[in-house]
């Protein structure tokens, strides 16, 4: 159900290391819990972020939520497509619906995140 090539947080963000640049988004579970995403606020390119810091936000028909950085790094790129098509977060959370990319990442932070099996068990354990 969840891609095996990425890591997950307890806040339902995902991160995929693409050879030194890490892509960050929210999981399909988070997107479904939010409902239809209507607005996305993205961080500034070049911004240094700390692990666990709120760096973006998303609004939906149900709620507004912060997006936290799973690791320390610097914003290298943002997904401007989300500004005109926020629904990509719901339609393609692991591909077209990513939020930002980080470089200068502290890769040690990645070791403390969940793999797909652990995240799936975490979601099942915390299901409402």
**CATH classification code of 7-120:** 2.40.50.100
What pLDDT score does 128 carry?
57
Residue 53, CB-side half-sphere exposure with 13 Å CA sphere: 12
The tens digit of pLDDT for each residue in 68-119 reads 999 999 999 999 999 999 999 999 999 999 999 999 998 889 999 999 999 9
Q: What average pLDDT does the structure give for the chain? A: 95
Could you tell me the sign of the dihedral formed by the alpha carbons of 36, 98, 43, 109, in that order?
positive
Which has the higher per-residue pLDDT, 81 or 126? 81
User: Could you read off the pLDDT of 27-37 as tens digits, one per residue?
Assistant: 999 999 999 99
| pLDDT score at 20 | 85
Contact predicate 42/58, CB 8 Å: no
The pTM (predicted TM-score) of the whole model is 0.95
């Amino acid at each position: 159900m969840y891609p095996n090539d990425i890591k997950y947080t307890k806040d339902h963000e995902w991160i995929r290391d693409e050879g030194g640049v890490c892509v960050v988004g929210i999981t399909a579970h988070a997107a479904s819990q939010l409902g239809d995403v209507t607005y996305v606020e993205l961080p500034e390119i070049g911004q240094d972020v700390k692990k666990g810091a709120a760096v973006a936000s998303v609004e939906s028909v149900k709620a507004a939520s912060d997006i936290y950085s799973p690791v320390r790094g610097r914003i290298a790129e943002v997904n401007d497509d989300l500004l005109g098509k926020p629904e990509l977060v719901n339609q393609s959370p692991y591909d077209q619906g990513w939020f930002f990319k980080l470089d200068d990442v502290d890769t040690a932070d990645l070791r403390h995140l969940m793999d797909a099996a652990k995240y799936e068990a975490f979601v099942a354990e915390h299901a409402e």
